[in-house]
Structure 1
Amino acid sequence: MSEPAVLEVADLGVRIGGRTIVEQVSFAVQREHTVGIVGESGSGKSMTVLAATGLLDAPGARVSGSSTLTGGSSPVQLVGAKPKVLRRVHGARIGFVFQDPGTSLNPLLTLERQITESLQTHRDMTRRAATQRATELLEAVGLPDPATRLHAYPHQLSGGQKQRAMIAIALACDPELLIADEPTTALDVTTQAQIIDLVRDLQHDFGTAVVWISHDLGVIGQVADDVTVLRDGRTVDQAPILTLFDSPRDDYTRDLLAARPVLDAQGPPEVTGTDELLTVEGLDVRFTVSTPVGRSTVHAVRDVSFTVRRGATLGLVGESGSGKSTVAAALTGLARPDGGTATLDGTDVFGAKGSAARALRRRIGLVFQDPFSSLNPRARVATSIAEPLSVHDLVDGKPARTARVAELLELVGLPTEFAQRYPHELSGGQRQRVSIARALAAEPELLILDEATASLDVSVQARVLELLARLQRELGLSYLFIGHDLAVIRQVSHDVLVMRDGAAVEYRPAAELFAAPEEQYTRELLAAVPPVTPRAAV
């Protein structure tokens, strides 16, 4: 006989206005078990869990069905529960870990205050006892020097440390249920692996039931016992993890499985010829920052050298803080190098001034990680794409500009009518295609892609990577592809440079590096990539 469910959701539905967002979704999660809720952006994953836990607060939203927190001494029906009931449940019996700890944590409060708040509210602890418990929690989630970290503010922590602090807050009152909404999406693969192991260990220690939301079946395979696949707010597949991986019932599930980047994937076709387009020698970048004890210098990039071959891709990989994006900033004039040289087909990149610098900027394009932030929300797509055309005087007159925008949209696989849309009217993948079109408008020789697919669903990421490969073949583009996921780097790169703490760790042809990595750090990055087989099969 199976153990009773901690949370049991039956025929859950959500309507906002006249639109059905979630329709008849059912699942249950037992103690010490994890249910994975998976699907693309807009599939209804987060909406389902918010509605099931009483957190949905959208104007005009109507929730139907049942969601019962059955664990503990008193079962609670969460659908339709009064705010007073939900306040007793949230934090005490249900803990929450969201995708972006930077926005979930209060920037004005120390970790001590944020952890002890729920302990004093729900457990009636004294301040001294709550502080002691907070120290124990920070130690349990693996934060170094927890007694000192208690007095830290969120901005003083790395992304992985902030997520660990969020987990400590969520587990403070020993909840029966933990909701993890994309908790590792914004993290490096090594930090992601650590968070997965941490939640698994804490789940075993505390007996917590977990609902883990993700768009990545590779991650779900490492955390979940059972999986519910959502599409357009409906359940299209539901099975134990091994059954779902071995015998997916729906084509959509098969597409999600096929879209996962894997280390044993075939790399890009080799590029004939060894002409060097970009040559960087001894790049050195320092920043002066203010600290509580005065100003100090951060040595962001230390004596880094590499080349990008014409028509080829150099993958630049490493964890957050390794200096990857600083390299891109130096090459595009967004950061001032303190040493080293860079030449683009013989032209000095760092020494160019005036009109020479302007001409050089046309030859190097840049695509950022978050297209929603990099596109002007008040400008139509046509305006954003046409901006480089006007800045560099590449077309004459409005008809020619309109025609060129249409060509660029077609080039990146978007309908020409998208030119009149605003960024908020596009999906994440569509926005990133617009960003690529804008970068291509100036007809660059080198395109720098700074984590350009990291924020996308795996299926959308796969389509954007296919687009980049096609553009490289058709236009002869060279790419500097910056990322933290070695599975993606393997798929796109001809050469790979691994960075750590601002320095180059390993720099070799991609096929050689992935076949036999020489450095321990590279092996650690490779080991952190979610394997093809789910954890339950090991």
Structure 2
Amino acid sequence: MSPETADGPVIEVTDLRVAIGRREIVHGVSFALHRGQTLGLVGESGSGKSMTVLAATGLLDAPASRVTGSSVLRGAGTTQLVGASPRTLRAVHGNEIGFVFQDPSTSLNPLLTLGRQITEPLEVHRHLTRRAARSRALELLTAVGIPDPETRLDGYPHQLSGGQRQRVMIAVALACDPLMLVADEPTTALDVTTQAQIIELVRDLQERTGTAVVWISHDLGVIGQVADDVVVLREGAAVEQAPILDVVDRPRHPYTRELLAARPVLGHPGPAPADADTPVLLRAEELDVHFPVTTPTGRSTVHAVDHVSFAVRRGCTLGIVGESGSGKSTIANVLTGLVRASSGSVHLEDTDVLAARGSALRALRRRIAMVFQDPFSSLDPRVRVDGAIGEPLRVHRLAARHGGRDARVRELLDLVGLPEAFASRYPHELSGGQRQRVSIARALALDPEVVILDESTASLDVSIQAKVLDLLADLQRELGLTYLFIAHDLAVVQQMSHDVLVMQHGRTVEQRPAAALFEAPEADYTRRLLAAIPPARPRVAG
């Protein structure tokens, strides 16, 4: 339903300001949202997206915070949410406004069954009986596409995949047929195929119920597939506000143009094909990994990697792609010794990686390094940057003198584009992109030959991701590094990879030079991954 045909805005926010202590961090943001409409809030981390919506809906509970301006919700009555009493907000949250947050594993209570988490708002707000609420919960799980919903009602969050948990969060948010749904980065941590399914699910439910949606994201590609209008936020201020087509076709602000340019899109020219004479540095043959697991029906075995073979040439990048559970990270963990392979072989030149023990294993660990997805959890919050980067040097007794170690840390910081002064900072004092640069510097400390990048840019804003990808490409050219680039986004893989290995359920789907694979993918699964990438043009354009 278009704004012109609606009776009036579901929520109208005027001159919203948020201050923490003496510092104002949201500066006079205004917007209106009509029934059946989707408003996209886009910007980098720290731009004030989530803070704006939390303040507008009365959920902000930060110490020393102060919210001014107006946020009027027009539901059963007219409610001013800025300054509303806790009793008023309890009646609104979960009833007239539903929330879907980025990480469903922290949003869902691990101690309660899925059914209980859906029935609770129905009993509190709609005063349904336990039986009626359970019946409604079953309808909701069916509507959001959860398989075997009758059984899942009595299951727990840890028994579901990430995409299924996010579907349950949507069911909880929609339980009371809210006027408005807030979706705060609901697909950022998901595979591109699961992301596409969640986008389609929300769109379908919105068309059937007329719910107004506020969709928060750092990715204009995703916003283009969901939103009618867009507010671009930077440092707490709305720098651009227009229909999505105007923002994409005629961006007025330089920051908006920067976000558009940073989007990973298919067609990006990747690295030049590797020379056929370039020697193979890393080779895996018939790699097989089994995990014993305990299920409600007894012990079972998961075949995580099923006879996978690949080869990586020196100075080149092998992109490994697939959905969660495809076995990508298990391969990385085998190469770094975190997981033991059931069978198969891995050789780094003439060194048998799987058989290395003692001093041979210690030497091998200098040759293979790893950069993880989340730089905040992979860095010790109690250790300064110089300690994090210098730890491998200390463990391997390199640059043994303190002055020598400090000099090496300064050299590595310069290599990844960080000032020398950052050596004395702690992880919480850095942005996400800066933390990932520190993680890369730590990985390079021992001059490795192979660097495994396990979803190393997946948690970053698109503009920061673009800068980190450029940094990785520069380091590969300067240092001759060999990369295993693990990702679920084929647009990013195309930009980085010489060759690509596509995996599903632990098996190889196809493995070819990147240029050939992207020009003419052979497998249906690869074509599905490619089709799931948000296109450059917004949905409303076509």
TM-score between the two structures when normalised by the length of structure 2: 0.98
Query: Paired residue for 1:204?
Result: 207
Query: Paired residue for 1:244?
Result: 247
Residue 392 of structure 1: how far off its partner (Å): 1.5
Query: Paired residue for 2:185?
Result: 182
Unaligned residue ranges in structure 2 (runs of 5+): none
Alignment of 1:355 with 2:352, yes or no, is no
106, 110, 116: which is aligned to 2:109? 106
400, 406, 422: which is aligned to 1:396? 400
- CA distance, structure 1, for counterparts of residue 68 and residue 272 of structure 2: 52
The residue identity in structure 2 corresponding to 1:444 is P
- CA distance, structure 1, for counterparts of residue 31 and residue 148 of structure 2: 40
The residue identity in structure 1 corresponding to 2:158 is H
SS in structure 1 of the partner of residue 282 of structure 2: strand
Query: CA-to-partner distance for each residue in 1:62-103, whole Å, 9 max, x for gaps?
Result: 000000112x33011100000000000000100000000000
Query: Paired residue for 2:225?
Result: 222
Query: Paired residue for 1:233?
Result: 236
Query: Paired residue for 1:170?
Result: 173
Residue 391 of structure 1: how far off its partner (Å): 1.4
The residue identity in structure 2 corresponding to 1:522 is T
- CA distance, structure 1, for counterparts of residue 439 and residue 90 of structure 2: 42
RMSD value, Cα: 0.7
Residue 289 of structure 1: how far off its partner (Å): 1.5
Q: Report the number of matched residues.
A: 537
The residue identity in structure 1 corresponding to 2:533 is V
SS in structure 1 of the partner of residue 459 of structure 2: coil
Query: CA-to-partner distance for each residue in 1:94-133, whole Å, 9 max, x for gaps?
Result: 0000000000000000011000000000001011110000
Alignment of 1:286 with 2:309, yes or no, is no
Query: Paired residue for 1:420?
Result: 424
63, 79, 83: which is aligned to 2:82? 79
Query: Paired residue for 1:495?
Result: 499
Query: Paired residue for 1:258?
Result: 261
The residue identity in structure 1 corresponding to 2:241 is Q
SS in structure 1 of the partner of residue 163 of structure 2: helix
- CA distance, structure 2, for counterparts of residue 119 and residue 73 of structure 1: 17
Alignment of 1:454 with 2:425, yes or no, is no
The percent of aligned pairs where both chains have the same amino acid is: 70
Alignment of 1:26-105 (within 5 A): 26-70=30-74, 72-105=75-108
Contact 2:393 2:400 (C-alpha < 8 Å) held by counterparts: no
150, 166, 177: which is aligned to 1:147? 150
SS in structure 2 of the partner of residue 382 of structure 1: helix
329, 344, 349: which is aligned to 2:348? 344
Query: CA-to-partner distance for each residue in 1:376-418, whole Å, 9 max, x for gaps?
Result: 1100000010011111122130001000000000000000110
- CA distance, structure 2, for counterparts of residue 20 and residue 140 of structure 1: 42
8, 13, 20: which is aligned to 2:12? 8
Residue 294 of structure 1: how far off its partner (Å): 2.1
Contact 2:399 2:405 (C-alpha < 8 Å) held by counterparts: yes
Alignment of 1:432 with 2:436, yes or no, is yes
- CA distance, structure 1, for counterparts of residue 206 and residue 350 of structure 2: 57
The residue identity in structure 2 corresponding to 1:130 is A
Query: Paired residue for 1:521?
Result: 525
Query: Paired residue for 2:134?
Result: 131
- CA distance, structure 2, for counterparts of residue 114 and residue 530 of structure 1: 32
TM-score between the two structures when normalised by the length of structure 1: 0.99
Unaligned residue ranges in structure 1 (runs of 5+): none
Query: CA-to-partner distance for each residue in 1:236-292, whole Å, 9 max, x for gaps?
Result: 011000000000010000000000000111112233333100000000011112222
- CA distance, structure 1, for counterparts of residue 295 and residue 81 of structure 2: 45
SS in structure 2 of the partner of residue 47 of structure 1: helix
SS in structure 2 of the partner of residue 229 of structure 1: strand
